[in-house]
Structure 1
Amino acid sequence: MAWLIAYKSEQKNISQVTALSFFALNPLVMLEALGNGHNEMMMIAFITLGLILYQKNKWLWASVAFTFACLIKLPALLIFPIFGLSLLTTSNSLQTRLTRGLIAGSVFISLFFIFYRFMGPFPDVIQGVIDSFSRRSFSPAYALHVIVREFNPEFAKAILANTRNLFFLIYIFILIQFVRKKLTLLEAGFLAYLFQIFLSNAFRIWYPLWLIPFAVLNLNSKTYWRVFLFGVAVQFSMVSYYILWRWHWRYWDWGLSGPLAPYWNYFTIMTPFTVSWTFTLPFLGELIGKWKDKNKFEKELWI
């Protein structure tokens, strides 16, 4: 990944040293990718490779790279519709567009089924994928669900399903904006993964790694601060979950006997509390930057 950024990536007004520093010094990369060894690192490496190949007009090899990213972890699937639309809209010849689309689709389907055959009985593998959608934890949608279910359990049941539907609507809007050339591939991919993280039913602290390929290849004030501060926030969230509650709030007299006593448990208290600042801190840099010098923030890499 570092080699790709240092030697193969190209950006206007952003040196490869700056891009590499953004990647290598990101707290998520240092602690979650290198420290805990999450396979997101392999996934985003192939996504980065695919994006670089796409920028160099090597669309066939880009489709192979994106497919391998999907085989490592399914969230990589989000980039494929955007990539597919790019193949169908970037050529003046209808025949060329259809040929590229069919070849890329064939590459994806062929590699997907070939490699999934080695992962066990195919129905069991697919069932595992389906089961993953039922996970619930530590996301804004789940935090809202936790709060509402204390007062209206029936209404709370609809929250998680509706936030998932909301994501699909936003994703379709992103695709439309991409086709209208209002967004680049990197911008559309960044927004797709950002909304996926915010509107998912479940969240893990290493999920913001998904944003890095799109940020590091399109480094600007927004992508820099959103990804960097998100990485900082999720690391400090562990302090909230594992230290603040277990060492202090769990035994706090005001909590155990005060007005919140009926709700004083780990999930009901800590999920809304921690999610509220973990998912708002990433936008703090943007607010401060625009307040101090909006013109510089929007046109340069404001650090």
Structure 2
Amino acid sequence: MLLNPSFLKLSKTPFLLAIASVFFYITFAYNLVRTDYIKLIILYTALFISFYKLITLLKNNTKALTYFAFAFRAVFILTIPNLSQDFYRFIWDGRMILEGINPYLFTVESFITKNEFPVAQTQELYAGMGTLNASHFTNYPPINQICFTIAGLFADKSILGSAIVMRLLIIAADFGTLHFGKKLLNRLNLHAHNIFWYILNPFIIIELTGNLHFEGVMIFFLVWSLYLLHIKKWQWAAIVLALSISVKLIPLIFLPLFFQWFIKRNTASNLEQTNVNSSFTTGKNLIKSIKKLIGFYGIIGITTLLLFTPFYSSQFISNYSKTVGLWFQHFEFNASIYYIAREIGYLFRGYNEIAIIGKITPLLVILFVLTITFFRKNKTTIELITAMLLALSFYYFTATTVHPWYVATLLILSIFTKYKFPLVWSFVIILSYLAYINLNKADKSENLWVIALEYIIVYGVFIWEVFLKKADAIKR
């Protein structure tokens, strides 16, 4: 048992670290304002050090790590998020659905300007989410909307009550990620404790459990899907991957990467089993593999479309595509390569660089994904997940907007690979909350020195792991 006398006697240091972490999390959850930057950095750093020490000391005691991980999450149960306003929009969407109103067809502002109050606490929710969020159509996919609706079902007149319900859903998803993550690690002959670099990470606990970002639910379905794919239940893997896409659209970027898994891996596997190398057998196996790949994509497409069907209308398509487009051509936050390209563009044109660069970067991402799809070996599960990690990293490196919680997907993928730069990023990402810490208080723009510090560290580790470390190994 975790708290029996022998545990206390033999494991004093990790127990004290856990107690300290609980104290730090309580302070973070109940006594921290986002603009208190020094306190934010000190608490986050202390939590990260404790987290790192706990895993190194207890890597052979996954039961204790599990208890600690969910004890830390329990601290946030009764809190209102203090680093993000997005949850107010989540609550709004869920309550709109319960009122029989399609949330994709109306902006919050459209009701406010007409002095209409379609849901309970309309004015409080509007004030909480802010005018920018309220002026845009919702972009959260249907499984996400189901989570919002469940929150509204159990707490239709309480903002805190809705937050608690959503938090419990996210914590439940973390249990699922822990379960299938450990199973997949075991199948891949990797250390089971690797999953705790995600589950116990203060970045994950604060951003997902604390700030109510549903990347945690998307990641649960993604890891489950990868596990099913690894054990060759590809039909179920396709359905579960569609559920992941229907929480957040980001897994769409991974779809081309499955090509080699089905074509080259399955063809080679079938040849080994038949022990025949004739052109006829090769062609037959290739056709069989192509049919599986088409079936995999077909199941994903059909399942995703079916989930969107209850919200379908011609206006929905227009509104949704317009809202998704905003992330490429209107919003700017915590970017890296984009900010450099923007500054270069200013030298020649001087304004509205996002309208131009925002059209180019998606094409670059597509080109990069297709390149590693066809020219990089992605036949094993680890190779496939590594390709996913590199593809998503490239997307974030070139994106115009990189919110802190985006890094969660990189982090979960990295635990199945040899790369640690997402773990480093999960620590330095806290700097993005300091982006507006300008000496000139009248200046509301991002402090690019802070952003530069974040990315110098991230790119430094990335380049060393992906290029320099590999080159050094070849020389040896």
Q: TM-score, normalised by structure 1?
A: 0.78
Does structure 1 conserve the Cα–Cα contact (< 8 Å) formed by 2:256 and 2:369?
no
Structure 1 residue 193 corresponds to structure 2 residue 410: no
Structure 1 residue 21 corresponds to structure 2 residue 216: no
Higher Cα radius of gyration: 2
Percent identity over the alignment? 16
Counterpart residue number, 1:250: 440
Q: Of 232, 236, 239, which aligns to 2:431?
A: 236
State the distance in 1 between where 2:473 and 2:378 align. 22
User: How much has 1:274 moved relative to structure 2?
Assistant: 3.0
State the distance in 1 between where 2:440 and 2:364 align. 35
| Residue type at the aligned position of 2:401 | A
Does structure 2 conserve the Cα–Cα contact (< 8 Å) formed by 1:66 and 1:80?
no
**Distance verdict in 2 for CA 1:146–1:227, change over 3 Å:** same
Counterpart residue number, 1:143: 339
Counterpart residue number, 2:443: 265
SS in 2 for 1:72: coil
User: How much has 1:154 moved relative to structure 2?
Assistant: 5.9
State the distance in 2 between where 1:111 and 1:29 align. 29
State the distance in 2 between where 1:114 and 1:278 align. 41
State the distance in 1 between where 2:395 and 2:453 align. 18
Q: How does 1:146-225 map to 2 (within 5 A)?
A: 146-148=342-344, 150-151=346-347, 152-153=349-350, 156=353, 157-178=355-376, 184-218=383-417, 220=418, 223-224=419-420
Could you say which structure has the greater relative contact order, defined with CA pairs below 8 angstroms and 6 or more residues apart? Answer: 1
Cα distance per residue 1:24-69 (max 9 Å; x no partner): 2323212111211211111111111111222222222211121111
User: How much has 1:161 moved relative to structure 2?
Assistant: 2.5
User: How much has 1:86 moved relative to structure 2?
Assistant: 1.9
**Distance verdict in 2 for CA 1:127–1:141, change over 3 Å:** farther
Counterpart residue number, 1:259: none
State the distance in 2 between where 1:8 and 1:179 align. 20
State the distance in 1 between where 2:457 and 2:444 align. 22
User: How much has 1:108 moved relative to structure 2?
Assistant: 1.3
Structure 1 residue 72 corresponds to structure 2 residue 242: no
Does structure 2 conserve the Cα–Cα contact (< 8 Å) formed by 1:32 and 1:38?
yes
User: How much has 1:88 moved relative to structure 2?
Assistant: 2.6
User: How much has 1:97 moved relative to structure 2?
Assistant: 0.8
Does structure 1 conserve the Cα–Cα contact (< 8 Å) formed by 2:377 and 2:383?
no
Q: How does 1:41-120 map to 2 (within 5 A)?
A: 41-92=216-267, 93-120=285-312
- Tell me how many residue pairs correspond in the alignment: 272
User: How much has 1:134 moved relative to structure 2?
Assistant: 2.4
**Distance verdict in 2 for CA 1:30–1:70, change over 3 Å:** same
The RMSD of aligned alpha carbons is 3.1
User: How much has 1:232 moved relative to structure 2?
Assistant: 1.1
Does structure 2 conserve the Cα–Cα contact (< 8 Å) formed by 1:208 and 1:231?
yes
Counterpart residue number, 1:10: 186
Counterpart residue number, 1:274: 450
Counterpart residue number, 1:40: 215
User: How much has 1:190 moved relative to structure 2?
Assistant: 0.6
Q: TM-score, normalised by structure 2?
A: 0.51
Q: Of 126, 131, 141, which aligns to 2:323?
A: 131
